[in-house]
Amino acid sequence: MDPNTETALIAEVEALRERVAELEEVLHAIRTGQVDALVDGNDIFTLASAESASNRFRGQVLQQISESVIALDNDQRIIYMNEAGEQQYDRKASDVIGLPLTDVYTYEWLKPGDEQAAWDAIRDHGHWRGENIHVKRNGEVIHVESVVNVLHDEVRRPIGLLAVMRDISEEVRARQALSESALQKDRFLATLAHELRNPLSPLMNGLQLLEGDDVDLTLLNTTRGMMQRQLDHLVRLVDDLLDLSRISRGKLELRNAHVDLVTVLHMAVETSRPLIDRNGHHLRMNVQPGTYPVYGDNTRLAQIISNLLNNAAKYTPRGGTITVDLTAHEGQAVLSVSDTGIGIRPEEIGRVFDMFTQVDGSAQGAGGLGIGLNIAQRLTVMHGGRLEAYSDGTGRGSSFTLHVPLTASIAKDTSDSVPVEHANGAGIRILVVDDNADIAGSMVVILRKAGHTVGSAHNGQDAIRLGAILKPQLVLMDIGMPVMDGYEACRRMRAQYWGERARIIAVSGWGQEGDRKLSRDAGFDGHVVKPIERSTLDRVIGEASHHLKD
Amino acid sequence: MDAVPATNSTGTAPGSPEFVLHLFVSGQTARSTRAIVNVRNACEQYLKGRYELKVVDVLLDPRIAAEEQLIALPTLVKKFPKPNARFIGDLSSTDRLLARIRI
């Protein structure tokens, strides 16, 4: 045999020997129960063994528990982690088995002594339940509620620990928010009691003075003036509280009409003028020429503007300047009240409209409940507008801007290019509701061209929201819509003060007597079948206009 | 607590670790857990900072078992340094394990 062949043969034999040795090893491992499963092609055959039941339990039960389950051996190394644990700690079980627990998270305790108590419980009773904090490897911190049990083998020797853990970070946050809210309410009540009592002493004093025998005219007038001011202050506080309560319960009604915001502004200035003058401030008015037609409650609008002016006066050192700007921009009236006062800290700007917040009282004549701006904002929203606050920081003044829709453009545009026409004498306010945007859109175009003020919505819920702002006299509503259908929307509209007397017409593909009855029962005034013919539409609008005059 | 040992020590040189081991298991069973713990212990003790251990559950993708020409599970395969070597069983005998992966 030549040397090459011999070398080749020897190598082949070696390889075979190794292969046989490996197979022998496999057989030995199988016979001595060291194998979980055998592979045949793509199939994996799991062998039955004494541990099968336990393995199935791990796989089928523990894996599916929504709490994290981690098992440790006596050296605090991880020997099991379920899928919930993989998600909670952002690690794969196969990566962490065999590693110490601290590789996955470290813990911190809520109170000193907690840690000792936990280990004592485990040592003395074999289990512990409690809360602590886990710091994940990526630094994220979570609040956890854990139940830890000692694991034992068949002869009751401890072989490790089993921990079942629940992430309660959300609950803890909610708990904290709740107690903060309770604290805020307590503080508010304390301030309220204080503020209500303040005017009472001077009032009592005044009464006593007036009872005296030696009251001359001068004293009478001074005292009466003082008592009147105190009483006014008290009345304002109580009114604010009542407003807040009514708004919170959704029971504050606006008495809406077409008003000119300029008139409202003058009303507000008149109300706030005494306070502005008393503080020696200069008031500048920059009203862009024009009218500012707004559909709203003029008393409430004036209340909003007055609140802004009063705040400007209160939070500006004597002799400051308050500037009012009024312009129109993209269908909205934009009214700003700016001052040269103490400003607002950047970290507090976000909370300026929250209930019960008040800037630390560095303002003169500041008494007050801290609810004025909250009420102002909610009233603004009820008018379909928004209120914003700006400030460059402490000592740099503040500026509050009110945006209110002008009536000529209240409608929700479905196509920007359609010119919005002023509602003339014959035009009415119409709300079109249809989940098909094309149908709604084309109807809006037709109605606007005819000179009406039109808004559109695509489901019952939006229709009710928009209705509250638009206060339509006629509603053309599709029945079949997602989220809330026409029947339900009609019922709810009838329960609103603006919907009670509006003409609400059902627009449906179905026109049988049964369908018309369903509409009547839901509160519709009429029922027309799609597609609506022009003559039908004219008739419906005519009826609605006529109905208005009643 | 101080710095924690990394799961996959990748050695001081940039690039691959000196020893690359793949441990193929069939699910999270008592035996596969023992195998993982044992292998990790041995590696941490004798190959600290020079090894990479990857645990592959073939139940999640059975084709791997065929690709690797596995016969039984769990099986430990040494991928680097060459030549490949395989070890079958619950790997609790550290000496045999180390001999097989040729330290």
| Residues A158-177: tens digit of each pLDDT | 889 999 999 999 999 999 98
Give the span between the Cα atoms of A276 and A319, in whole angstroms. Answer: 10
Give the span between the Cα atoms of B36 and A34, in whole angstroms. Answer: 14
Residue A99 contacts B, CB cutoff 8 Å: yes
The predicted pLDDT at position A257 comes to: 86
Residue of B40, B59, B24, B22 lying closest to A45 (CA atoms): B59
**A430-to-A270, A293, A362, B66 alpha-carbon distances in Å:** 36, 19, 50, 72
The predicted pLDDT at position A489 comes to: 92
pLDDT over 60 (residue A254):
yes
Minimum distance, in Å, between the CA of residue A24 and any CA atom of chain B: 11
Which one-letter amino acid corresponds to residue A397? G
The answer for A37, left when phi > 0, alpha when psi is -120 to 50, beta otherwise, is: beta
pTM: 0.51
Half-sphere exposure of A409 (CA within 13 A, CB side): 18
Per-residue model confidence as pLDDT tens digits over B65-97: 888 888 899 999 988 888 788 888 767 777 777
The predicted pLDDT at position B88 comes to: 85
Q: How confident is the model at residue B15 (pLDDT cuts 50, 70, 90)?
A: low
> Could you tell me which residue, A95 or A506, shows the higher pLDDT?
A506
Half-sphere exposure of A447 (CA within 13 A, CB side): 29
The answer to whether the Cβ–Cβ distance between A58 and B29 falls below 8 Å is yes
Minimum distance, in Å, between the CA of residue B65 and any CA atom of chain A: 7
Residue of A425, A541, A385 lying closest to A473 (CA atoms): A541
> Could you tell me which residue, A135 or A534, shows the higher pLDDT?
A135
**A202-to-A228, A232, A312, A367, A499 alpha-carbon distances in Å:** 10, 13, 26, 15, 48
Q: Which residues does chain B have within 8 Å of residue A38's beta carbon, measured at their own beta carbons?
A: 71-73
The answer to whether the Cβ–Cβ distance between B36 and A37 falls below 8 Å is no
pLDDT over 50 (residue B62):
yes
DSSP state of A291: -
pLDDT over 90 (residue B12):
no
Minimum distance, in Å, between the CA of residue B13 and any CA atom of chain A: 22
Q: How confident is the model at residue B14 (pLDDT cuts 50, 70, 90)?
A: low
The predicted pLDDT at position B89 comes to: 73
The predicted pLDDT at position A367 comes to: 53
The predicted pLDDT at position A88 comes to: 93
Which one-letter amino acid corresponds to residue A205? N
Beta pairing class for A386-391 and A398-405: antiparallel
3-class secondary structure for A182-224?
A: HHHHHHHHHHHHHHHHCCHHHHHHHHHHHHCCCCCHHHHHHHH
The predicted pLDDT at position B7 comes to: 44
The answer to which of A18-22, A350-354, B1-5, B43-47 has the lowest mean pLDDT is B1-5
**Which run of H or E residues covers position A166?**
strand A158-167
The answer to whether the Cβ–Cβ distance between A79 and B28 falls below 8 Å is no
Per-residue model confidence as pLDDT tens digits over A439-495: 888 888 888 888 888 898 888 888 988 888 888 999 999 998 888 889 999 999 998
3-class secondary structure for A447-490?
A: HHHCCCEEEEECCHHHHHHHHHHHCCCEEEEECCCCCCCHHHHH
In this structure, the number of other CB atoms found within 10 A of the CB of residue A518 comes to: 18
Highest average pLDDT, of A35-44, A396-405, B29-38, comes from A396-405
- Nearest chain B residue to A31, by CA: B89
pLDDT over 80 (residue A409):
no
The answer to whether the Cβ–Cβ distance between B63 and A54 falls below 8 Å is no
pLDDT over 50 (residue A93):
yes
**Residue labelled with tokens 């800037």:** A359
Q: Which residues does chain A have within 8 Å of residue B86's beta carbon, measured at their own beta carbons?
A: 22
The predicted pLDDT at position A426 comes to: 65
In this structure, the number of other CB atoms found within 10 A of the CB of residue A328 comes to: 17
**A288-to-A171, A271, A285, A298, A328 alpha-carbon distances in Å:** 52, 22, 10, 20, 8
pLDDT over 90 (residue A252):
no
Beta pairing class for A37-40 and B72-73: antiparallel
The predicted pLDDT at position A397 comes to: 93
Can you count the helices (H) and strands (E) in chain A?
Answer: 17, 20
Among A29, A42, A59, select the one facing B63 at the smallest CB separation.
Answer: A42
The predicted pLDDT at position A357 comes to: 65
**A306-to-A269, A300, A314 alpha-carbon distances in Å:** 7, 10, 12
SS3 A159: strand
Q: What is the mean pLDDT of residues A8-24?
A: 88
pLDDT over 70 (residue A422):
no
The predicted pLDDT at position A338 comes to: 96
Q: What percent of chain A has pLDDT over 70?
A: 93
Give the span between the Cα atoms of A268 and B88, in whole angstroms. Answer: 89
Residue A100 contacts B, CB cutoff 8 Å: yes
Per-residue model confidence as pLDDT tens digits over A273-302: 989 999 999 999 999 888 888 999 989 999
User: What integer best gives the mean pLDDT of chain A?
Assistant: 86
Structure tokens at A437: 């945007």
**Which run of H or E residues covers position A129?**
strand A127-136
In this structure, the number of other CB atoms found within 10 A of the CB of residue A4 comes to: 8
The predicted pLDDT at position A216 comes to: 86
pLDDT over 80 (residue A366):
no
The answer to whether the Cβ–Cβ distance between A94 and B56 falls below 8 Å is yes
The predicted pLDDT at position A411 comes to: 35
**A318-to-A146, A322, A348, A375, A418 alpha-carbon distances in Å:** 60, 11, 24, 26, 51
Structure tokens at A375: 């009420």
**Rounded to 5 degrees, what angle do the CA atoms A437, A438, A441 make?**
80
Cis peptide before B81 (omega within 30 of 0): yes
Highest average pLDDT, of A328-332, A367-371, A401-405, B34-38, comes from A401-405
Give the span between the Cα atoms of B36 and B28, in whole angstroms. Answer: 10
The predicted pLDDT at position A415 comes to: 35
The answer to whether the Cβ–Cβ distance between B88 and A26 falls below 8 Å is yes
Give the span between the Cα atoms of B6 and B43, in whole angstroms. Answer: 12
> Could you tell me which residue, A485 or A550, shows the higher pLDDT?
A485
Query: What is the separation of C-alpha A531 from the centre of its chain, rounded to a whole number of angstroms?
Result: 40
The answer to whether the Cβ–Cβ distance between A42 and B41 falls below 8 Å is no
For helices A372-382 and A298-314, give the axis angle rounded to 10 degrees.
150
In this structure, the number of other CB atoms found within 10 A of the CB of residue A2 comes to: 7
The predicted pLDDT at position A3 comes to: 80
Minimum distance, in Å, between the CA of residue A2 and any CA atom of chain B: 28
Beta pairing class for A398-405 and A332-339: antiparallel
pLDDT over 70 (residue B8):
no
Q: How confident is the model at residue A48 (pLDDT cuts 50, 70, 90)?
A: confident
Q: Which residues does chain B have within 8 Å of residue A51's beta carbon, measured at their own beta carbons?
A: 29-31
**Which run of H or E residues covers position A359?**
none
Q: What is the mean pLDDT of residues A252-271?
A: 89
The predicted pLDDT at position A340 comes to: 94
The predicted pLDDT at position A368 comes to: 65
Residue B5 contacts A, CB cutoff 8 Å: yes
Residue of A297, A265, A234 lying closest to A469 (CA atoms): A297
The answer to whether the Cβ–Cβ distance between A54 and B1 falls below 8 Å is no
Q: What is the mean pLDDT of residues A400-409?
A: 84
pLDDT over 60 (residue A362):
no
Residue B70 contacts A, CB cutoff 8 Å: yes
Give Cβ neighbours of residue A489 (< 8 Å, ≥ 6 apart): A433, A460, A461, A463, A464, A477, A481
Determine contact, residues A458/A480, Cβ cutoff 8 Å: no
Determine contact, residues A455/A472, Cβ cutoff 8 Å: yes
The residues that bridge with A306 in the sheet, in sequence order, are: none
Q: What is the mean pLDDT of residues A47-74?
A: 85
Among A54, A79, A94, select the one facing B37 at the smallest CB separation.
Answer: A79
Q: How confident is the model at residue A334 (pLDDT cuts 50, 70, 90)?
A: very high
The predicted pLDDT at position A414 comes to: 33
Residue of A266, A255, A548, A289 lying closest to A423 (CA atoms): A548
The answer to whether the Cβ–Cβ distance between B33 and A51 falls below 8 Å is no
